Structure 1
Amino acid sequence: MGVLEAGAGAPDPRVVRAVAANAAWCEAVCRVHGIPGSVGDGLWRAGGEPPPFYPDAVTLRPGLEADRVAEVVPARPGASVKDGFGDVDLSGHGFEVLFEASWIWHPSVPAGEPATGPAWCAVEDEAGLGAWAAASGQGATFLPALLSDESVRFLTARADGEVVGRAALCLGAGVVGVSNVWAAAPGVWESLVAAAGQWFPRRPVAGYERGADLASAVAAGFEPVGRLRIWQRR
């Protein structure tokens, strides 16, 4: 999936790339469930009902008309839209806001910069992924086929022999998209960018967070660069 044009309104290019990278992650997860994805008219769309917590559509550029977005989303209750720029009002089309969050961005870490904090390692086998997925509450979502996707990595952070962090990485639009971050000790967020650089060197890192997790990411050097909104059909 390539980076789409920013479109009218000249949005922050970091947000455009963060959204595209996140859509690439959604597509990777859907693909292993046999659900194809497609891009057109400023939208990424799932070709079937996606796994739990994953959207039916993602807006890839700002300024899309609410009618157009609503009509491509299935009519079933719970169908969802990731409004990548937080500017589509779907309240008049049978949707309600599930939550809002902020896109976050961190420049790439220079090659050779020493890593500090917890030690990160990649999940390498089906048993490890099963444990990772179960701990994240998405045991039925992250299927073993994802381990053979060269653009995807599942990471675990350890300190003193204990698991203190998790994160999923997906390379898309020249950006390392980071998601499903869990941090149970100091230094997890601070070390995540360098860890991402071990598997995908010289790439910026982007994702989205809210609440305490957003505060932790910002304290670790991530910059909030834009907002997003998740809409769900009633």
Structure 2
Amino acid sequence: MTAPIELHYWPTPNGWKITIMLEETGLPYTVKYVNIGKGEQFEPAFLNISPNNRMPAIVDPDGPGGEPVSVFESGAILQYLGRKTGKFYPADERARVEVEQWLFWQVGGLGPMAGQAHHFRGYAPEKIEYGINRYTNEVNRLYGVMNRRLADREFLAGDYSITDMASVGWVIPHERQGQDLNDFPNLRRWFETVMARPAVARGVAIGKEERDRMNLAVDKEAQNILFGQRAR
């Protein structure tokens, strides 16, 4: 029997990427919550597997050669799980390039820009108009990129893949980013299609009760932990 993958996780758009992939592939896994509002991401045991003190991270006891392997960074985890299972990450090079360029687009663009929109619109102690407008507008631009891409295809890379899993969680909180999906009909169609997948619904639901207990908008201690860190 295959030993379960150990997922170090908190229910955020980056965490959802991995629960969705694990649910889609059917790989057995166990969840170890990393409460980012309490600073658990800075504990030495976690830093051994995620030196950037960010979740998610995984430990696969059945790694290459049958030896355990740990992987951090959500995009790298998705690629690893895709190679491991042969699912949602094509072996054909041309198809793989399509998936990878949109995966890195999400990791380098959509996620960070949406995260900054969340910060300046919802968490910053001062309402800085420039910051709010800068990141709200940039997310709007990125949504437009997706909308154009999806005009003639069902999913971002053609077939459903890890890049759709990577992106959908960052569209879930679109209202917090100041966006209206009615302005992006192709994106809205894609979003509704992906969210209707049972594995996506299960993945997003993992840890919902944990997330609900942490109200980051009013928890100043958690905000200081998340937004006030420097090199130690």
TM-score normalised over the length of structure 2: 0.28
Q: Which structure dedicates a bigger proportion of its chain to helix?
A: 2
Q: Which structure dedicates a bigger proportion of its chain to strand?
A: 1
TM-score normalised over the length of structure 1: 0.28
